[in-house]
Amino acid sequence: MSLNGSYRRHGLVATAILAVLCLSVLVAPREAMANQEEPVVLIGSIHRSVGEGQTMGCEKITLRPKDVIRYFSTATEVSFSTFHYESIILPCAFSGKLRRNGVVYGWSINAAGAGYLYPEDGRENLFFLCYRSCAKALPGLMGL
Protein backbone atom coordinates (compact mmCIF):
# COMPACT_ATOMS: atom_id res chain seq x y z
CA MET A 1 0.00 0.00 0.00
CA SER A 2 1.32 3.37 -0.90
CA LEU A 3 1.67 6.23 1.52
CA ASN A 4 -0.79 8.31 -0.52
CA GLY A 5 -3.48 5.59 -0.30
CA SER A 6 -3.12 5.40 3.46
CA TYR A 7 -3.57 9.17 3.83
CA ARG A 8 -6.65 9.07 1.59
CA ARG A 9 -8.29 6.35 3.69
CA HIS A 10 -7.54 8.17 6.92
CA GLY A 11 -8.86 11.35 5.34
CA LEU A 12 -12.11 9.61 4.37
CA VAL A 13 -12.50 8.14 7.86
CA ALA A 14 -11.84 11.53 9.45
CA THR A 15 -14.37 13.15 7.10
CA ALA A 16 -16.98 10.50 7.98
CA ILE A 17 -16.40 10.99 11.72
CA LEU A 18 -16.67 14.75 11.32
CA ALA A 19 -19.94 14.38 9.39
CA VAL A 20 -21.43 12.15 12.12
CA LEU A 21 -20.41 14.63 14.81
CA CYS A 22 -21.94 17.54 12.89
CA LEU A 23 -25.22 15.64 12.45
CA SER A 24 -25.36 14.72 16.13
CA VAL A 25 -24.93 18.37 17.08
CA LEU A 26 -27.84 19.31 14.82
CA VAL A 27 -30.16 16.49 15.92
CA ALA A 28 -29.50 16.39 19.68
CA PRO A 29 -30.88 19.85 20.51
CA ARG A 30 -34.10 19.10 18.61
CA GLU A 31 -34.61 15.88 20.59
CA ALA A 32 -33.91 17.66 23.85
CA MET A 33 -36.36 20.42 22.94
CA ALA A 34 -39.02 17.86 22.05
CA ASN A 35 -38.73 16.33 25.54
CA GLN A 36 -39.04 19.66 27.35
CA GLU A 37 -42.39 20.79 28.66
CA GLU A 38 -43.85 23.94 27.20
CA PRO A 39 -44.35 26.76 29.67
CA VAL A 40 -47.71 27.14 31.38
CA VAL A 41 -49.70 30.02 29.87
CA LEU A 42 -52.75 31.49 31.59
CA ILE A 43 -55.87 32.10 29.52
CA GLY A 44 -58.19 34.80 30.84
CA SER A 45 -58.50 35.99 34.40
CA ILE A 46 -58.21 34.41 37.84
CA HIS A 47 -61.48 33.82 39.70
CA ARG A 48 -61.65 33.71 43.47
CA SER A 49 -64.25 31.86 45.55
CA VAL A 50 -64.53 32.18 49.32
CA GLY A 51 -66.97 30.03 51.25
CA GLU A 52 -69.50 31.45 53.66
CA GLY A 53 -69.19 31.33 57.42
CA GLN A 54 -65.82 30.41 58.90
CA THR A 55 -63.32 31.38 56.18
CA MET A 56 -60.17 30.76 58.25
CA GLY A 57 -58.50 33.91 56.86
CA CYS A 58 -58.93 32.91 53.22
CA GLU A 59 -60.08 36.38 52.22
CA LYS A 60 -56.53 37.64 52.92
CA ILE A 61 -54.91 35.42 50.29
CA THR A 62 -54.26 36.66 46.77
CA LEU A 63 -53.00 34.71 43.79
CA ARG A 64 -51.37 36.50 40.86
CA PRO A 65 -50.82 35.03 37.37
CA LYS A 66 -47.13 34.42 38.12
CA ASP A 67 -48.17 32.55 41.30
CA VAL A 68 -50.37 30.18 39.27
CA ILE A 69 -47.50 29.49 36.88
CA ARG A 70 -45.12 28.97 39.83
CA TYR A 71 -47.62 26.64 41.51
CA PHE A 72 -47.91 24.31 38.51
CA SER A 73 -44.11 24.42 38.09
CA THR A 74 -43.34 23.46 41.70
CA ALA A 75 -46.33 21.44 42.96
CA THR A 76 -46.10 17.66 42.73
CA GLU A 77 -48.53 15.74 40.54
CA VAL A 78 -49.99 12.90 42.63
CA SER A 79 -52.44 10.04 42.21
CA PHE A 80 -56.08 10.52 43.14
CA SER A 81 -55.70 8.29 46.23
CA THR A 82 -52.67 10.27 47.50
CA PHE A 83 -54.55 13.50 46.83
CA HIS A 84 -57.61 12.20 48.68
CA TYR A 85 -55.62 11.25 51.79
CA GLU A 86 -53.16 14.17 51.93
CA SER A 87 -55.01 17.22 50.63
CA ILE A 88 -56.41 19.89 52.91
CA ILE A 89 -59.39 21.70 51.43
CA LEU A 90 -60.11 25.14 52.85
CA PRO A 91 -63.21 27.22 52.02
CA CYS A 92 -61.43 29.34 49.42
CA ALA A 93 -59.94 28.63 46.04
CA PHE A 94 -58.77 30.27 42.86
CA SER A 95 -59.61 29.04 39.38
CA GLY A 96 -59.27 29.81 35.70
CA LYS A 97 -57.97 28.36 32.45
CA LEU A 98 -54.45 27.66 31.23
CA ARG A 99 -52.54 25.96 28.44
CA ARG A 100 -49.90 23.37 29.34
CA ASN A 101 -48.06 21.32 26.71
CA GLY A 102 -50.63 22.26 24.08
CA VAL A 103 -53.64 21.16 26.16
CA VAL A 104 -56.20 23.62 27.56
CA TYR A 105 -57.18 22.95 31.16
CA GLY A 106 -59.52 24.41 33.70
CA TRP A 107 -57.51 24.79 36.89
CA SER A 108 -58.24 25.23 40.57
CA ILE A 109 -55.84 25.90 43.44
CA ASN A 110 -57.08 25.66 47.01
CA ALA A 111 -55.65 27.99 49.66
CA ALA A 112 -53.98 25.08 51.48
CA GLY A 113 -52.11 23.99 48.35
CA ALA A 114 -54.31 21.33 46.75
CA GLY A 115 -54.59 21.86 43.00
CA TYR A 116 -56.43 20.38 40.04
CA LEU A 117 -56.17 20.48 36.28
CA TYR A 118 -59.34 19.59 34.36
CA PRO A 119 -58.47 18.90 30.70
CA GLU A 120 -61.02 20.20 28.22
CA ASP A 121 -60.32 17.34 25.80
CA GLY A 122 -61.74 14.67 28.12
CA ARG A 123 -58.48 13.26 29.47
CA GLU A 124 -58.30 12.35 33.14
CA ASN A 125 -58.06 15.10 35.74
CA LEU A 126 -54.63 15.79 37.23
CA PHE A 127 -54.12 16.30 40.96
CA PHE A 128 -51.36 18.34 42.64
CA LEU A 129 -50.11 18.87 46.17
CA CYS A 130 -47.88 21.67 47.37
CA TYR A 131 -44.96 20.06 49.22
CA ARG A 132 -41.78 21.70 50.55
CA SER A 133 -40.40 23.38 47.38
CA CYS A 134 -43.86 24.60 46.39
CA ALA A 135 -44.60 25.90 49.89
CA LYS A 136 -41.28 27.74 49.87
CA ALA A 137 -42.07 29.29 46.46
CA LEU A 138 -45.61 30.31 47.51
CA PRO A 139 -45.57 31.01 51.27
CA GLY A 140 -48.76 33.10 51.13
CA LEU A 141 -50.73 30.16 49.77
CA MET A 142 -49.63 27.81 52.53
CA GLY A 143 -49.49 30.31 55.39
CA LEU A 144 -52.96 29.74 56.82
56-96 tens-digit pLDDT: 667 777 888 998 999 999 899 999 999 999 988 777 889 99
Instruction: Say if CB 90 and CB 144 are below 8 A apart.
Output: yes
**What's the N-to-C CA distance of the chain in angstroms?**
83
Instruction: Say if CB 140 and CB 129 are below 8 A apart.
Output: no
**C-alpha–C-alpha distance, residues 130 and 137, integer Å:** 10
**C-alpha–C-alpha distance, residues 107 and 73, integer Å:** 13
120-140 tens-digit pLDDT: 998 999 999 988 888 888 877
pTM above 0.75, yes or no: no
Q: What is the DSSP secondary structure assignment for residue 93, as one 8-state letter?
A: E
The residue extents of the domains of the chain are 1-36, 41-142
**C-alpha–C-alpha distance, residues 125 and 96, integer Å:** 15
